Amino acid sequence: MELNWNKLDVKLSASTKKTIHEMGFERMTPVQAACIPLLLKNKDVAAEAVTGSGKTLAFIIPMLELLQNRSETLKRHEVGGIIISPTRELATQTSRVLAYFLHHVEHITQMLLIGGNSVSADVDCFKAKGANILIATPGRLEDLLMRKCDINLPAAVKSLELLVLDEADRLLDLGFEKTLTTILQYLPRQRRTGLFSATQTKDVVQLVRAGLRNPVFVTIHEKCHNKLLAEFQVFAIHGRMKGTRCKDFDSFQKAKSGVLICTDVMGRGVDIRDVNWVIQYDPPKSAAAFVHRCGRTARIGNQGSALVMLLPTEDAYVDFIYRNQKVHLVEMETPLPAADTLSCVRSIQLKDRAVMDKALRAFTSHIHAYSRYECNVILRLKDLNFGTLATGFGLLKLPKMPELQGKDVSDFEEVHIDFNSIPYMDRQRERIRQEKLKIYKKTGIWPKSDQKSKRRSCRQTEPWSLSKQHRMERKSKRDRRKIKKQQQQDSGRSKCKRKRNLCQEDIDELAKDIALIKKLKRRKISQEEFDDQFDAKNRENSCESSE
């Protein structure tokens, strides 16, 4: 597929080309190359493409071209384009992208209609300024379409050229099916419709049948991503892994290139060749461990680099590690923009509640670990900027934890959404959550897990006579232990058990066992050799005892 903007088989306006050049998009993405010509040729499009594939420009550019190429210029209160987004954040993001293009277009205006703003303010704004493109969430758009007495929006949308349903699968997952049906009833049938989603579910297919006329289905598979992942693998190792830890470690050693995300379980004693970088997200708990971590790179005469990330409040650690371990650290300038990364991380959490839960657990675990530092005089919990730290973790909201009570978190901007609307991608977990959510809405109490309720129900259903009998048995055991203890004290017997004296032969046997175990740990002998030697020694001991 040709991805050069100049090779596009439809003509773009000079203002659109100028904006594309200013934004630095030298080439099209596959979804843009496929959808822009189809929409400009009066086709309805149902596109399936992964998040981050450039879907926003795939519908903004044809929408602007259609409105600019109209035979009659749109009046101030005539709506020629509508973009429906599932969340406020996505709608706001789309509005910002559209604003870049409208800087070079004089006669086209936009308006953002989302929850959280006053409905009356939106009505007054539309009456006063009007808008040719509406970017809205489903609930707010439905509300304004049905307010015929306050604003005649149904009349304004009769000039509609293009309707876009962005993240259509997410719209349906959030329960907007009836709302979308209501909105479609107010819109003219002679329009173009673009439906964009990351997945094509059965509900999305039904929506396509209801809202699109003879649509062209576009499915984008970016194979280059798979090739990149095959060459650049990511591994994870931590202390709680049991069966797969050795397997993952061997896979990492055999890989041509890759990233290993690990805890201090890999901090020392592990020899991996050709490690270029060791990146420490935070300082280790002890100063000695810092040197061991850095020692995973630049081994046996090879070159390598080690990086430790420090907050501004942790700059004293540089002098501390120099005095303690004679390691000289050099500051590295990293002017990296974080706004786009933060938006991307948060959008991932908005799509899967499991990711949001993991982000909250990671933040709380980091705070708990930070409070247990060996050098807590330098790395003090009270010096942390919790708001900035939570932003760095990409949190949507702050967790409830005692460490945050009374702390200044003004640097953290919480995402204002209904967090109960964030679903699990796992259907079974989401079904269980929805059942609990219904109970919560009725009773105001979130139901606890099944295991806890089972234990509670077992305790409650125990007969009174049995519970009394159990109490009497426990009391009788306590009384017997008390009497026995008193008798031992009266007779002058020692409370401690007498230790068994070991002879020199026993000590020598223990030393041999320990030496054998150390050989196994250092991989000087194999597991089979260890078992053979250990069994042979046991057989000798058994023969000696029988004689």
Dmax (CA) of the chain: 113
Report d(CA 308, CA 502) in Å as an integer.
50
Residues 41-70 as b/e (b if ≥16 CB within 10 A, e otherwise) read: eebbbbbbbeeebbbbbbbbbbbbbbbbee
Burial of 262 per CB tally in 10 Å (0-12, 13-18, 19+): buried
Report d(CA 348, CA 187) in Å as an integer.
32
More confident of the two residues 248 and 520 = 248
Asked whether residue 495 carries a pLDDT value surpassing 70, the answer given is: no
- Quickly list DSSP for 143-185: HHHH-TTT--HHHHGGG--EEEETTHHHHHHTT-HHHHHHHHH
What's the rounded mean pLDDT across residues 310-335? 87
Please report, in angstroms and rounded to a whole number, the separation of the first and last CA atoms in the chain: 86
546: which 2 tokens?
Answer: 């029988």
Of the segments 70-79, 219-228, 530-539, which one has the largest average pLDDT value? 70-79
Which of 48-52, 141-145, 350-354 is predicted with the least confidence, judged by mean pLDDT?
48-52
pLDDT in tens, 35-45: 999 999 888 99
What pLDDT score does 63 carry? 94
Report d(CA 417, CA 116) in Å as an integer.
9
According to CATH, the superfamily of the domain at 226-325 is: P-loop containing nucleotide triphosphate hydrolases (3.40.50.300)
What pLDDT score does 224 carry? 44
What's the rounded mean pLDDT across residues 196-221? 79
Beta strands, E only, 35-117: 45-48, 81-84, 110-113
User: pTM higher than 0.75, yes or no?
Assistant: no
Report d(CA 526, CA 522) in Å as an integer.
10
In this structure, whether the domain defined by 5-224 belongs to CATH 3.30.1490.190 is answered with no
Domain positions in the chain are 5-224, 226-325, 339-423, 429-454
What pLDDT score does 102 carry? 92
* Alpha carbon separation from 390 to 90, 339, 414 (Å, rounded): 21, 14, 10
What's the rounded mean pLDDT across residues 273-290? 86
Cβ-contact 287, 375 below 8 angstroms: yes
* Single-letter amino acid code for the residue at 353: R
Report d(CA 422, CA 86) in Å as an integer.
11
- 5-224 and 226-325 in the same fold: yes
